[in-house]
Amino acid sequence: MGLHRIGAFLVVCVIMILACTYAQAQNQSPLLGARRFLQFCAGCHGTDGKGGDKAASLATSESVRARSDEDLFRIVHDGTTEGMPPFAQIGETNIRAVVHFLRMLEGQSISGSDTAQAPVKGDVGSGRSLYFGKAKCSTCHMMQGKGGFIASDLTAYGRNRGNDAIKQAITTPDSQLVPSSRVVTVRTRGGQSVTGVLRNEDNFSLDLQTEDGRYHLLQRSGLTDVHYTDRSLMPRDYGTLLSPEELNDLASFLIAESRTPRAVAGQSQ
């Protein structure tokens, strides 16, 4: 390589390093939060924040969800009277990162720009009709106990997400692919091809779920090919299928439903 090429290469590296550092500082990189959570919190609260041997679930706790970020910061910093030790020593940047990561585990918006009291901009009733009708969300997603099983439960999805973030998630899905939603196609030694959602895998086995609900419990030794896609089952054409008004209505429905207490079964309200 010529000197000028080395120089250009070095400049690019420096720019990239600076950009990454800037991005980290500005955006509270989820990677830092994930790492620190694993390091300091998961031992008691579980790697998914859903509870461990020594401490309760955070990700599914109503009372944790209801607390402000500042409140959570204080708890991590000072500990609690119920036996959680203080973590002041890990420093402010790390504490903010784990709080941010916890919000992600709770299913909240990454950017945090849309607040808990996101305004409902569209027509909730129309949104409901779309959810169960034209947009066919209920085919795959459960909402307040109604709907499908192959994709995530959306009952609480709208709780801390704003209108824009929801619309973006609908029109450009898989920007952050959740591992247990990834679509995988395998070919067995018997020549059968199975495409399904990858629920778990290790060096020896993997379990797929197809849209009929069936789990395919597979040994890698019985497969000739495993192809990982970069997507979930979520259709990618909602941007053209639904009008801007319809997308607003759908987002509003999700936000409104997340604030509606669950109806008690078998009783009239």
Partner 1 sequence: MKAQLRRQEFISMVAGSLLLLTQACHAYGQEEKIAQHESSNPTAQASTGVTGLINVTPRGLLQKHMTDNWVSYNGNYTGARYSAMTQITPANVGRLAAQWVFHARAVSPLEVTPLVDSGIMFVTSANDAYALDAKTGKLLWHHARAVTPGLVDDAGQHHNRGVAILGTRAYMETDNAHLLCLDARSGGLIWDVPYATGNKNYGATSAPLIVKDKVLVGTAGGDDGVRGFLAAFDAESGEEKWRFWTIPAPGEKGNESWPGDTYLHGGGTAWMPGTYDPELNTLYWGTGNPSPDYDGSVRPGDDLYTSCLLALDPDNGTLKWYFQFSPHDLFDYDAVQTPVIVDARFKGQPRKLIVTANRNGFLYILDRTDGKFLFAKQFAQRQNWANGIDKNGRPISAGLTPNQSGVQVCPAAGGATNWYSPSYNPATHMFYFRSLDACALIKSSTEPFEEGHTYYSTGTRGVGEPGKGFINAFDLDTLDFAWRDLQYGMDKGWGGVMSTATGLIAYGDDTQNFVILDGRSGKPLWHFNVGQLIHASPMSYAVDGKEFFAIAAGSDVFSFALP
**Shortest CB 150 distance to partner 1, Å:** 7
193, 186 in Cβ contact below 8 A?
A: yes
170, 251 in Cβ contact below 8 A?
A: yes
189, 237 in Cβ contact below 8 A?
A: no
- Give the tokens for residue 101: 């990561």
In the chain, the N- to C-terminal Cα span, in Å, equals 76
- How far is it, in rounded angstroms, from Cα 123 to Cα 119? 12
266 contacts partner 1 (rule: CB under 8 A): yes
List the x/- string, 173-192, binding to partner 1 by CB under 8 A.
----------x-x-x-----
Helix (H, G, I), strand (E, B) or coil at 174: coil
Closest CA to 209 of 184, 173, 235: 184
215 contacts partner 1 (rule: CB under 8 A): yes
155 contacts partner 1 (rule: CB under 8 A): yes
* Subset of residues 42 to 61 that bind partner 1, contact rule: CB under 8 A: 46, 50-53, 56-57, 59-61
- How far is it, in rounded angstroms, from Cα 94 to Cα 87? 10
181, 197 in Cβ contact below 8 A?
A: yes
112 contacts partner 1 (rule: CB under 8 A): no
Nearer to partner 1, 62 or 113 (CB): 62
Residue the block writes with tokens 């955070």: 58
Paired sense of beta strands 142-143 and 205-209, if any? unpaired
**Shortest CB 17 distance to partner 1, Å:** 37
**Sign of the four-CA dihedral 110, 113, 117, 123:** negative
- How far is it, in rounded angstroms, from Cα 167 to Cα 169? 5
**Shortest CB 155 distance to partner 1, Å:** 8
220 contacts partner 1 (rule: CB under 8 A): no
* Subset of residues 230 to 259 that bind partner 1, contact rule: CB under 8 A: 231, 233, 235-236
Nearer to partner 1, 46 or 127 (CB): 46
* Binding residue for partner 1, selected from 80, 111, 193, 260, defined by CB under 8 A: 193
- How far is it, in rounded angstroms, from Cα 266 to Cα 60? 25
* Binding residue for partner 1, selected from 24, 138, 168, 188, defined by CB under 8 A: 138
**Shortest CB 15 distance to partner 1, Å:** 36
Q: Which stretch binds partner 1 (CB under 8 A): 13-21, 72-80, 118-126, 195-203?
A: 195-203
Nearer to partner 1, 32 or 41 (CB): 41
* Binding interface with partner 1 (CB under 8 A): 46, 50-53, 56-57, 59-62, 136, 138-140, 142, 145-150, 153, 155, 183, 185, 187, 193, 195, 199-200, 202, 204-205, 207, 209, 211-217, 225, 227, 229, 231, 233, 235-236, 262, 264-267
